[in-house]
Structure 1
Amino acid sequence: MRAAVRRFRVRMGVLAALTAVRVAATLTTPVMLARAIDAAQAQENLGAATTALAVTLGVAILADAGEDVLGAYCGSHLTAWLRHRMLGRVLALGPQGRRRFPTGDVLSRLTESASGPAAFPVLLLAAAAAIASTAGAVIALALIDWWLAAAFAASVPPLVLALRVFVVQATEPFARYQISQAAIATRLLDARQGIRTIQASGTADAEARRILAPLPELREAGRETWEVQGRVSRRLALLAPLTQVVVVAVAGVRLATGDVTTGQLVASASYAAMAVASASLFDTFVQLLNCQVGAGRIEEVLAAVPAVRPPARPRPVPDGPGRLRLRRVTVRAGGRAVLDGLDLDVPPGAAVAVVGASGAGKSLLVATIGRLLDPDDGHVELDGVPVTALPLPRLRHAVAYAFERPAPLGATVHDTIAYARPDATRAEVRRAARAAAADDFVRALPEGYDTPLARAPFSGGELQRLGLARAALADARIVVLDDATSSLDTATELKVTEALRRVLAGRTSLVVARRPATAARADLVAWLDAGRIRALAPHAELWPDPGYRAVFDARPAADGAAAPEPAAGA
């Protein structure tokens, strides 16, 4: 919130000036009113007095209107600024950030939590204005008659104590309320993504109960907050008018003794009302507390450190054919070393299949190449330079990925293929789509490549082919296919692989392979076992090894039938 005030300090300065003018005009109004009343009684200078009163009221009204307009303007810009900062950090955290901040939790922070702090500058000035108005009113009462100020001062300690009790008792329930909201949103989004499984399992009622499980905690936190707020409101509702009555009563007594005039009595009543209006600070405190809780939830995301950081002293991406070297690479997950001191040399321009049992760390291995994650130990080199020394945007252009479940990003089908190269022409996009065997089903869509993604429901295999087309279009020296053909049938995979081989000729490629036929079409196979590369050799040389064949034994059917053929034909 301090950063927000600094960022918008010019607008905050103007807003503070308008607030100061409004407070000054408001404090001056009772004085002008008293003079007008006394002038009317004395029948002297009535025109000048009423003119001064009108000008003072006009200044107060204009300043108040300016505050409202500029306050709303600052609030909207602050909300946008907070949401942009948070979105940038969520994206910078990468896939690892999803474990700490689930989708529903991020959505809750972006909407409700980010909107609260936006009111902070305006509320802060409103609180300062209320305190200044109260202080000015008390001073004015003292100038009229010190007995009036003493009567008001006697009521201040109970008011301050009531506000303090609220802040202490309501902070924790406020936070629990927002956390419970985020938990419900997260579970709802999870259920939305798994709607087919829920329907197929007939577990809709059980899932509804799971989604709403945090509801009792939400209700309890809300009840505690309202109880605290209700207790304090009742006390303030009693203390505020009682204080005003006491001040006016004292003023009436002083009028009877001739120590104050009629106009001063009216001014005293106005200043008393103005002074006890400080009780309205309670509502401001409620909103400031909401700002504090929301800002705390935003700060949790902004303070999170990305697992992959830009290099302090970036080096230019070297020219080279795409040679990869992994040295003593160790990646730990779940308390164990999935990759344990792994060494691997990938020749430039070679197609390498990464093979291993389920859970062997194949995806972790290929993720270290483009710095989707950094190894706990060891390093990865691209053409002789550690990838950690390269600027992240340049590295991500040098290494292209296609995943098992590619995300359909962009507005149209053309956009999703050209996602990494938005300047690509339609001819280039179609050429990449043909290489991935996607051109036929794309052209069959209602608007072809211009079909909005929302109106183009794709199967898993079609999405994978779009992901492959995206990778083929990327101007990258290294292409990584992380299980990117698992949803394709054997015939389609063969067709796509042969087309991609021509498109990717001269580029280094790594393919996470689960089928013997896929491994057989690669130049080399990197056999991953027990966290290390057990062998780097052609598929035909590895196939006689029973341990190597066992990697594919869990996949009978087409894979088992195809196994001997690649070995013989390799």
Structure 2
Amino acid sequence: MTTAPGPAYRSAPTTFGAVARHGRAWLPVIGLTALASSAVSLALPSVLGHSVDAIVAGSGYGRWFTIAAVLIGVGVLCSLIDAFAGTACVAGTTAWLRHGLVSQVVRGGAEGSREFDSGDLVSRVSGNASDAAQAGPAAVTTVAATAPPIGSLVLLALIDPWLAVAFFGGVILVVGVLFVFARRTAEISLSYQQTQGRISALLTEAVTGLRTIASAGTTTREERRILGFLPELHRHGLETWKVLARSGAQAAIVGPLVLVAVLAVGGLQLVDGRITPGELFAASQYAVLGAGLGSLTGVIGEIARARAGIQRAAEVFAIDKVAHGLLPLPPGPGRLTFDGVTVVADDAVLLENIHLELPGGATIAVVGPSGAGKSVLASLAARLRDPSIGQVLLDGVPLPALNHHALRTAVGCAFERPTLVGTTVGDAISHDAIGPVRTLAAARATHAHDFVRRLPDGYFTPLPKAPMSGGERQRLGLARAWPASRLLVLDDATSSLDTATELQISKTLTEDRYRRTRLIVTHRTATAARADLVVWLDGGRVRGVGSHQDLWQDASYREVFG
């Protein structure tokens, strides 16, 4: 029987609007303070203009000075509230994005994030998420920033229509400058962030392989390889500054032209007696305020970086999460079934039409030459990936149908190069807080206790301060998997152990008093000989199934072990 791959679900696509809306209550606060600041900016020139007329008249200017002082105080208060609300909004949105990105990567599993480099993912979670979080405040600020030019145009029209005409022509030029700036900045920001991600990816790769780099004597070459992208990063940064400088210069030219045009028209109107000196003063302030639209280049730059950050975050949110069913695991011996399983990745067939019925409670060795598909078979059994065709069942239940707790309680995995997670050595064993008694039991069963007790603080020794050999790390990995109740999947998990320890652990596995099913990927003849059943893979197909003694009669089987 063949089925579709196991169910998976995908997070809702991350859009600029979705990220911006996450600001929730902070966005109205930012919007209101921005509008209040705009209102103050629009009212102040008129108040100051009346003050000028009052001074010329020689009376009543004290009242207008008081109003101006109040407006200035309100403007300062609005600026303080806006700064606090903007910071809080960005911090909250950044935390939300980072939480979602980390969850997406972790829940997507190894296959989900396979197309991303580790360093690039770190760059997206750390730097790009912070850029993306600027979306809400920047968008609100941009919208609110249109109020002063529009208000200036209206108020100039009330003073004198010809002032509004002179002002409007100049503002059109400023808007054109901003449009070109926004388009170019968006392109450059994305390229800059992508280059940063590539540098992070190369650096992470180098840090992981420092011993190999040192032993190979390729330190200088690695430095050149990592830093080789710095000129490209420099070029993107330089282009950003060039666009900013060009737009700033253009706005700096257009702004004074708007002011000169308004003052020239206003001067003529003043001479004709159509406006007062105070109205001319107010008109000049409105001209400066409206032409100041060019100061939006900073906010537009934030929007461009936010869009680039959101685009890079959306690529991570597009990872398929591994979904789980609702079924519990029924009683059973741990029978493992591969029903017509085929695995295809990047147009390459890794396993083809696998039909296996593996008895529960048995020790099953999986052998074969390099590239035969052994690790793929093990990852299917542990549901670290799903087949392209077919299904894998544990005691008659398809693995995707099991609820997450039932699956991970029943199945334990250990690998050739285990990654130890947690704060202490004890944490590396006792996942999900299985308790000190079971932690100690798992460590004793896998002979990890032998070296852990010699550490300075035993199980409380911090992992960075616990130097371990490859074999000792493998023993901790085995101990972590040991509490599984139904199935143990060991992917070459004893390859770094010395012969004596490997023999002890193999004996523990074959004499497992819990009678769990043990699927062991191995290259060792002794391990295959002690197994109840051997699955022989070759080229992604099952070449043979039987006891080691029976398969040993085949010369090709003997060649697998050298």
1:50 corresponds to which residue?
65
Question: How many correspondences in the alignment?
Answer: 547
What is the distance in 1 between the residues matched to 2:305 and 2:151?
28
Contact 1:332 1:338 (8 Å CA) reproduced: yes
CA RMSD of aligned residues (A): 1.9
* Paired amino acid for 1:372: L
Q: Helix, strand or coil: the match of 2:313?
A: helix
**Equivalent residue in structure 2 for 1:353, among 365, 368, 393:** 365
Contact 1:471 1:479 (8 Å CA) reproduced: yes
**Is 1:488 aligned to residue 491 of structure 2?**
no
Q: Helix, strand or coil: the match of 2:124?
A: helix
Does the C-alpha gap of structure 1 residues 103 and 136 become closer, same or farther in structure 2, counting only changes over 3 Å?
same
Does the C-alpha gap of structure 1 residues 319 and 35 become closer, same or farther in structure 2, counting only changes over 3 Å?
farther
**Is 1:5 aligned to residue 15 of structure 2?**
no
1:443 corresponds to which residue?
453
What is the distance in 2 between the residues matched to 1:503 and 1:246?
92
Contact 1:130 1:277 (8 Å CA) reproduced: no
1:122-521 equivalent positions in 2, closer than 5 A: 122-306=137-321, 308-311=322-325, 314-419=326-431, 421-422=432-433, 424-472=434-482, 474-503=483-512, 505-521=514-530
2:8 corresponds to which residue?
none
Q: CA deviation at 1:73?
A: 0.4
Gaps of 5+ in 2: 1-15
Q: Using CA pairs below 8 Å that are at least 6 residues apart, which structure has the higher relative contact order? A: 2
**Equivalent residue in structure 2 for 1:27, among 42, 53, 72:** 42
Q: CA deviation at 1:150?
A: 1.1
1:566 corresponds to which residue?
none
* Paired amino acid for 1:131: T
CA offsets, 1:369-394, max 9 Å, x none?
Answer: 22211111111111111112222343
Does the C-alpha gap of structure 1 residues 504 and 470 become closer, same or farther in structure 2, counting only changes over 3 Å?
farther
1:561 corresponds to which residue?
none
Contact 1:113 1:298 (8 Å CA) reproduced: yes
The alignment's TM-score, normalised by the length of structure 1, stands at 0.91
What is the distance in 2 between the residues matched to 1:489 and 1:220?
53
Does the C-alpha gap of structure 1 residues 503 and 451 become closer, same or farther in structure 2, counting only changes over 3 Å?
farther
Contact 2:138 2:302 (8 Å CA) reproduced: yes
**Residue identity (%):** 44
Gaps of 5+ in 1: 554-570
CA offsets, 1:85-111, max 9 Å, x none?
Answer: 111111122212443110111122122
Contact 2:373 2:540 (8 Å CA) reproduced: yes
Contact 2:129 2:313 (8 Å CA) reproduced: yes
What is the distance in 1 between the residues matched to 2:337 and 2:130?
48
Does the C-alpha gap of structure 1 residues 247 and 334 become closer, same or farther in structure 2, counting only changes over 3 Å?
closer
Q: CA deviation at 1:501?
A: 4.2
1:557 corresponds to which residue?
none
What is the distance in 1 between the residues matched to 2:118 and 2:541?
34
Does the C-alpha gap of structure 1 residues 318 and 44 become closer, same or farther in structure 2, counting only changes over 3 Å?
farther
Q: Which is worse superposed, 167-176 or 377-386?
A: 167-176
* Paired amino acid for 1:215: L
Contact 2:446 2:479 (8 Å CA) reproduced: yes
Does the C-alpha gap of structure 1 residues 433 and 503 become closer, same or farther in structure 2, counting only changes over 3 Å?
farther
What is the distance in 2 between the residues matched to 1:12 and 1:175?
25
What is the distance in 2 between the residues matched to 1:254 and 1:457?
85
What is the distance in 2 between the residues matched to 1:215 and 1:74?
32
Contact 1:435 1:503 (8 Å CA) reproduced: no
Q: Helix, strand or coil: the match of 2:485?
A: coil
Contact 2:23 2:136 (8 Å CA) reproduced: no
Q: CA deviation at 1:31?
A: 2.2
